[in-house]
Amino acid sequence: MILTRVNEQGWQENALRIAENHGRLVTLWGRQSAPGSFTMYAVFFDSNVGLEGMSLRLAKGVTSYPDLSNLFPCANRMQRAMWDLLGVSAANSLDTRAWLSHGAWPDDYFPLRKEFSGREVSKENQLDEYSFIDVIGDGVHEIAVGPVHAGIIEPGHFRFSVVGEKTLRLEQRLGYAHKGVDKAFERYSGLSGVQLASRICGDSTVAYSWAYCMALESAWKWKVPQRALWLRALMLERERVANHLGDLGAIGNDAGFTFGLTQFMILKEQWIRVNKTLFKHRFIMDCVIPGGTLYDINREDVAEILKQCKHTLREVKILKGIYEEHTGLQDRFISTGKVSKDVANKLGLTGLAARASDIKEDARELFPTYPYSELDFNISGAESGDVAARVSVRFDEIFESLRLISEIAEGLPEGQTQSNCKPPKKPTFGFGWIEGWRGGIFAGLHLDQTGQIDRAHIHDPSWQNWPALDYAVIGDIVPDFPLINKSFNLSYSGHDR
């Protein structure tokens, strides 16, 4: 990816060109580049050129930049978050409400500025009154759900405007799981920062770790052994299978089919127990490290992997048949929570949810990292954009990942699994983009001349996909919301950071 430095006119013109070419915004972030000076960064994907980045250095004392949300709606929440964290705003934006700040921070407190430590004491008992958009009409009423939920899940607030049980509008408020991760990265070196990256979102620890390490390795021109890259791909596909197994069971449960939950959770438990045997951790945490992988596998491990893949394939095929033939399930799945291809494109939907709306994009193909550049794999997809489509994509991706895992395990090249490198004695920037099980995880990493992190930005695809949930529920009944929500299964922690 080329990171092009632009002025305000270039920022707007480049964004317009990419939008007109049906490209999409991958991520947006900012950093304090000097005392009183800020730089904004945006990364896009354009099918003609691939990943394309641009940076806009603001004049000293300037704290605004041209708004991108008029071209890319998903930029809205990213821009609002940048105001909360950095105190730099999108000029002329129609939505300037706080996003990550819930009123407990002082008005002049922007944690990503260098003058703040990120550990300052918040105001007590002074939470703000968030301005939800009202829907007015005969019989319209509101239902407030969360941020504390009935299940053991992370916090998010959902404000429904309904007539009877029919949903007219849904508006979300997130940010309750904000932990100050971006600021915390400043206390880490490039080498140790992967430990924090791997803990941002526990169900995607491999994808986050790999994206971070890719950014570090590109910044430092660090060559990773081939065997280590194959092992990373093996871990990533195992992470994908584990999450899809859990989701298929949970989606069945939300449709009242407890049998599906029990059967898929048995398979997931068996799967992650083998993870523990192979990589010393059920969710493969801390196994992807700068320069390679922490663990290797032997012939006996390969045999266990192949055996489990065959068993899982057989069981999932049976369960797929049961799901497809169960009239009650299909009645709940089909046409529920629909996101059309047109809406998905306008919102910048990405990952699994996009592929279920007939947008067959996958970072493993768009930005092929070795060994994916050497592997033939099929991108799963569906057209209807409803719960049934998202279930179908999960089944297909399990089958494809099981095939890839077997191919990778049998084709592992010989060699080392780690390499060492010293950081260059100059400021550097690197990036990484990996297709996690939800979608693309992007990492942008700024390092100083000592190898210390100056700014780390790691982007979860949930930033693009949470707004789509607002559209998916329109016209459906309120009791279908848990099912629709679970069919996306977006991240609170990865989004809020």
pLDDT tens digits, 443-454: 999 999 999 999
The answer to whether residues 268 and 355 belong to one domain is yes
Residues 481, 411 share a domain: no
In this structure, the answer to whether residues 257 and 368 fall within a common structural domain is yes
Mean pLDDT of 43-61: 92
Among 397, 420, 443, identify where a domain stops.
420
Distance CA 285, CA 295 (A): 11
Which CATH number goes with the domain that contains 26?
3.30.460.80
Confidence of residue 320 (pLDDT cuts 50, 70, 90): very high
Output the pLDDT for position 154: 87
Task: Answer whether residue 120 is part of any domain.
Answer: no
Are residues 230 and 342 part of one domain?
A: yes
> How would residue 120 be classed by pLDDT, with cut points 50, 70 and 90?
confident
Tell me the pTM: 0.95
Q: How confident is the model at residue 126 (pLDDT cuts 50, 70, 90)?
A: low
pLDDT tens digits for range 59-108: 998 999 999 999 999 999 999 999 999 999 999 999 999 999 888 888 88
Residues 166 and 311 in one domain: no
In a domain, 150, yes or no: yes
Q: What is the pLDDT of residue 422?
A: 81
Residue 87 and residue 139 in one domain: no
pLDDT computed for residue 2 by the predictor: 82
Average pLDDT, the chain: 93
Shared-domain flag, residues 239 and 339: yes
Please check whether residue 271 lies inside any domain of the structure. Answer: yes
Check whether 373 has a pLDDT greater than 70: yes
Are 363 and 252 part of one and the same domain? yes
Residue percentage of the chain with pLDDT more than 90: 83
Indicate whether 466 belongs to any domain.
yes
The CATH number given to whatever domain includes residue 170 is 3.30.390
Average pLDDT over residues 406-424: 92
Q: Residue 96 CB: number of other CB atoms within 10 A? A: 13
Same domain, 269 and 145: no
Q: Between these two residues, 34 and 205, which has the higher pLDDT value? A: 205
pLDDT tens digits for range 325-360:
999 999 999 999 999 999 999 999 999 999 999 999
In terms of domains, do 140 and 55 share one? no
| Domain-located, residue 142 | yes
Domain count, the chain: 3
Q: In the prediction, which pLDDT does 332 show?
A: 95
Residue 69 is assigned to a structural domain of this protein: yes
Residue 214 lies in a domain: no
pLDDT, tens digit (0-9, with 9 covering 90-100), for 469-481: 999 999 999 999 9
* pLDDT digits 0-9 by tens, 158-195: 999 999 889 999 999 999 999 999 999 999 999 999 99
Higher pLDDT, residue 363 or 150:
363
- CATH number of the domain enclosing 390: 1.10.645.10
Q: Which of 91, 119, 143 is the last residue of a domain?
A: 91
Q: Is residue 16 part of a domain?
A: yes
pLDDT for 417 beyond 60: yes
Average pLDDT score over residue span 6-17:
95
Is the same domain home to 267 and 385?
Answer: yes
Q: Residue 405 belongs to what domain range?
A: 223-420
Say yes or no: 284 and 376 in one domain.
yes
